Amino acid sequence: MVMRTPSRVAAEGMPEAVTIYEVGPRDGLQNEKGIIPTDVKVEFIERLGAAGLQTIEAAGFVHPGRVPQLADAESVIDSLNLDAGRRYPVLVPTLSGLDRAFSRGIRDVAVFGSATETFSQRNLGRSIDESMKMFAPVVARAREAGANVRGYVSMCCGDPWEGAVPIGKVVDVATRMAALGCTELALGDTIGAGTPGQVAALIDAVVAAGIDVGSIGVHFHDTYGQALANVLAALQSGVATIDSSAGGLGGCPFAESSAGNLATEDLVWMLEGLGIETGVNLEKLVSASVWMAGQLGRPSVSRTVQALAGRHAFDHAEPDAEPATAQR
């Protein structure tokens, strides 16, 4: 018989509650080969909100030629109730992207930097120094308007082209993004190569450089099966904002060795077991991922979804759902 909830055994030194920063609708779906219909994205976001997730990265105001899966950002945002009490952050690498986001009423934005030169060039077509110059006016204008600004720092634990990434490089980029005015920093293990000791040392170094641990979030991929262990290390280091993607959707279109994100369901199962409050209804979250799996025409990779809804959970989606990957 499948257990429906984990046994709750609180561990010492953990935060009482965490913020789950859901990235499935943006980071998760941007890596799909086919174009996901706008109404599917919107319903996915609404189902995630109904499950209790309060921070849902909804879209990216980026050049459609670079990431065509995000070309409908305006339509997605226009279909959401921005007064529902949730945060719907969006990615805005440039001033034009920021203007597009502001025109739709968004006041939670993010810029996406890199700890390595190679990935900065591949992802943004700019060096790290050039990317900082690009971000500076974006962050300044956003802060002047009272917006929250998240600064992603990618490739923190390894780079497929450069190999191991010295912690000093991550600290340098993180402190530069904080100096620009970012209100939150998300340390990303973009290729999922990190291990718990490395994560703890990284967070300690960033905090030692003067960045408040309360402003740090972590973003782990599960390429080598280390994501939950790395989350535990981050929690023990005082981090209370964790990125994840419903159903384990995602990867990075500009880093081929990047597997899916940490599944939100797996994260919630662990956090509930630790007695940490999330505000998320796991059954409703699993249902949302099962529905999305039906839209994509493949089962969820989340172990928790597989356990609670069956390994072929997408078979239980609405019968009239057409696989979104067939849309070109």
Tally Cβ neighbours within 10 Å of residue 166.
11
Q: What pLDDT was estimated at residue 208?
A: 98
Mean pLDDT of 125-147: 97
pLDDT band at 260 (very low <50, low <70, confident <90, very high): confident
pLDDT band at 1 (very low <50, low <70, confident <90, very high): low
252 a catalytic residue: yes
Tally Cβ neighbours within 10 Å of residue 256.
9
pLDDT at 316 exceeding the cut of 80: no
Long-range contacts of the stretch 141-145 (C-beta < 8 A, 24+): 141/95, 141/98, 142/92, 142/98, 142/109, 142/181, 143/181, 143/183, 145/102, 145/107
* Interval 156-214: pLDDT, tens: 999 999 999 999 999 999 999 999 999 999 999 999 999 999 999 999 999 999 999 99
* Interval 68-102: pLDDT, tens: 999 999 999 999 999 889 999 999 999 999 999 99
pLDDT band at 328 (very low <50, low <70, confident <90, very high): very low
pLDDT band at 254 (very low <50, low <70, confident <90, very high): very low
Q: What pLDDT was estimated at residue 327?
A: 29
Q: Which tokens hold the place of 192?
A: 């999922």
Catalytic, out of 156, 157, 182, 252: 252
pLDDT band at 14 (very low <50, low <70, confident <90, very high): very high
Q: What pLDDT was estimated at residue 323?
A: 39
Go through the domains of the chain in sequence order and give each one's CATH number. 19-326 (3.20.20.70)
Mean pLDDT of 250-277: 81
Q: Classify 147 as helix, strand or coil.
A: coil
Q: What pLDDT was estimated at residue 317?
A: 52
Please report, rounded to a whole number, the percentage of residues in the chain having pLDDT higher than 90: 84
* Interval 16-59: pLDDT, tens: 999 999 999 999 999 888 899 999 999 999 999 999 999 999 99
Residue ranges of the alpha helices (H) in the chain? 38-50, 73-78, 95-103, 117-124, 128-144, 167-180, 196-208, 227-236, 264-273, 282-296, 303-309
The whole model's pTM is what?
A: 0.92
Cα-trace Rg, the chain? 18
Cβ–Cβ < 8 Å for 78, 104: yes
Q: What pLDDT was estimated at residue 4?
A: 87
- Strands 216-220, 184-189: pairing is parallel
Q: Which tokens hold the place of 191?
A: 């290729």
Q: Exposure string (b/e) for 211-227, b if CB count within 10 Å is 16 or more?
A: beeebbbbbbbbbbebb
Average pLDDT, the chain: 91
